[in-house]
Structure 1
């Protein structure tokens, strides 16, 4: 989360642009889910700019923000990593994928059966949703997202996992003091790392044409 509607909107637009650049690089089809992640993060920021302008509440934008942040990312990231990871790493990635499936299902059920609200807290937005066993859900969420990246066996994705772990801890610490959140910068850094990752992936080559 950013510190104002304008900051969220500008950051979101920039991250979406990085996502377009990630997808513009021709490569393997199984890299596309992770390459598209900056588009999702950018859309998330833009949605939050709408929440800022509406003063929080429990409207459609708040629900959309929570769906992306909670069940969707918990499943998207480990699936994307599983698709893109080297073949030798896929067996160990079954654990974070299973955690992602279970966590995503529990979070989706909670969002479907309980209201989610947002309110402005100083320079940040706070979100509230009734989650059963929140400690277990947080552990499952981190295992699915950060864990899958760290176990991917891909140097670029391991770096992204380390940044994600550090960024999440910093964001939580600053949110608790109601100071300017680092989420915008964190999402931007992650998107740039993914852009570099897509540039290093083996691309598809057009078959050489025959002469005559």
Structure 2
């Protein structure tokens, strides 16, 4: 998690175990992407745990930079694309699948855009006030931030008529990049 190596590694272990249990319970190929979601989240949290261990020793080192890059790719580019596709695959209702397709399109647009920025602009991570703050070399516009937060908050809304929302608090997992600290404000 975004507040200690111990929390990150504990989350890694628990979500990996849940992912393996989910994979065993998946009955069709359409359920596999959703069942794999905890495994991908475990990888993301494992990367963050490694960052907690490495940032104090070598904040500008190649390992810290690589771990921050991989974390940002998962948190900002992978999830907006992957999650709505996983939900769309398990939705039995054709009408709701068409609605979820709008989330897939938004996720593809936002995820691709954010991946481009992660690859082409400086990025990194710092420990600040007991949290890891992920830094990207640019600020994203309000439209991108709103699309990201809207897509992240609504991607599970159509599944089985339920309404689920993510709230990331101070953690960076699903937080729009516009709210991150930029290098000039340190």
The alignment's TM-score, normalised by the length of structure 2, stands at 0.81
Distance in 2 between residues matched to 1:51 and 1:118, nearest whole Å: 8
Structure 2 residues without counterparts, runs of 5 or longer:
174-186
- The CA RMSD over aligned residues, in Å, is 2.0
Could you say which residue in structure 1 is the equivalent of 2:20? 20
Distance 1:70 1:40, change over 3 A: same
Secondary structure of 2:99 counterpart? coil
For 1:141-152, list aligned pairs within 5 A.
141-152=148-159
| Residue 126 (structure 1) aligned with residue 133 (structure 2) | yes
Distance in 2 between residues matched to 1:134 and 1:41, nearest whole Å: 27
Conserved 8 A contact 1:81-1:148: yes
Q: Kindly tell me the number of residue pairs found equivalent between the two proteins.
A: 166
The alignment's TM-score, normalised by the length of structure 1, stands at 0.72
Distance 1:3 1:148, change over 3 A: closer
Structure 1 residues without counterparts, runs of 5 or longer:
176-180, 184-212
Distance in 1 between residues matched to 2:108 and 2:139, nearest whole Å: 16
Distance in 2 between residues matched to 1:102 and 1:113, nearest whole Å: 17
Distance in 2 between residues matched to 1:145 and 1:182, nearest whole Å: 13
In terms of Rg, which structure is larger? 1
Could you say which residue in structure 1 is the equivalent of 2:52? 52
